[in-house]
Amino acid sequence: MKKISHFILPLPRKFLHNSLNIAKISLCFCLVGCSSVSAEPAAEISQIDSFRGYDWGTTFDDIKGKEITSDMLEYRDYRIDEVGSVDGLTDLCIYNGSVDTYDTNVEYRFLNDKLVSGGYDMDIDDSNYEDICDGISKKYGDPDIEKSSTGWGDCSMWIDDTQNVILVSEMLGLLYFQNDKSIIDLFSESLEKFHEIDIDRELQKAGDGYVGY
């Protein structure tokens, strides 16, 4: 006689208990798997709203009072000049300063006694250009504009949400400036001449939500 095999199902309560255990184990594996591949939160990109810790609009007297000590002598440790090409523009230059690992003069520019620009009077060339750009990118993200040399060296530019700018140029140095027409006009001719950048056009593109090439 042929033997008939029977598949024996577990009792309902035991079957439910086993099913719950399997579900719990599956959930644990799912949670472990998800946690192992969860992405790190994106780093927050800083706005270009200040220079060396001074917000745009900080007064000349406030910065002079903090940067120039009683033992510093004019024309030995610092100088103050009127920038004749722009009415009301004053330049405060502190000698023997530094940025990151580089020795440099530090310049603050004031329009009607309010900070609108800053920069570093330093030589930028193939030996340090990439290092400087990498340092800025760690805080401000990737540059919005990168221009290869047109005969005057490379150039990179960062533009924030309100069209303030950082510029690294092998010809012009390292500049920060606020979105102010007088300051933009001050730099626009040099940017066009040395790097073929129309700064007014680029800022307009940034304001329309499109940045870079």
Q: Is 75 helix (H, G, I), strand (E, B) or coil?
A: coil
DSSP letter at 73 equals -
Tokens of 92: 């405060």
pTM of the model: 0.77
Which are the contacts of 64, defined by CB distance < 8 A and separation ≥ 6? 92
Terminal-residue alpha carbon distance, the chain: 85
129 and 154 in contact (C-beta within 8 Å)? yes
User: What number of residues does the chain have?
Assistant: 213
Tokens of 188: 């626009």
Residue 184: predicted pLDDT = 95
Residue 34: predicted pLDDT = 44
Q: From first to last of the 213 residues of the chain, give the pLDDT tens digit.
A: 443 443 333 444 444 445 545 444 454 444 444 444 445 554 578 999 999 999 999 999 999 999 999 999 999 999 999 998 899 999 999 999 999 999 999 999 999 999 999 999 999 999 999 999 999 999 999 999 999 998 999 999 999 999 999 999 999 999 999 999 999 999 999 999 999 999 999 998 876 654 332
Residue 20: predicted pLDDT = 46
Residue 10: predicted pLDDT = 42
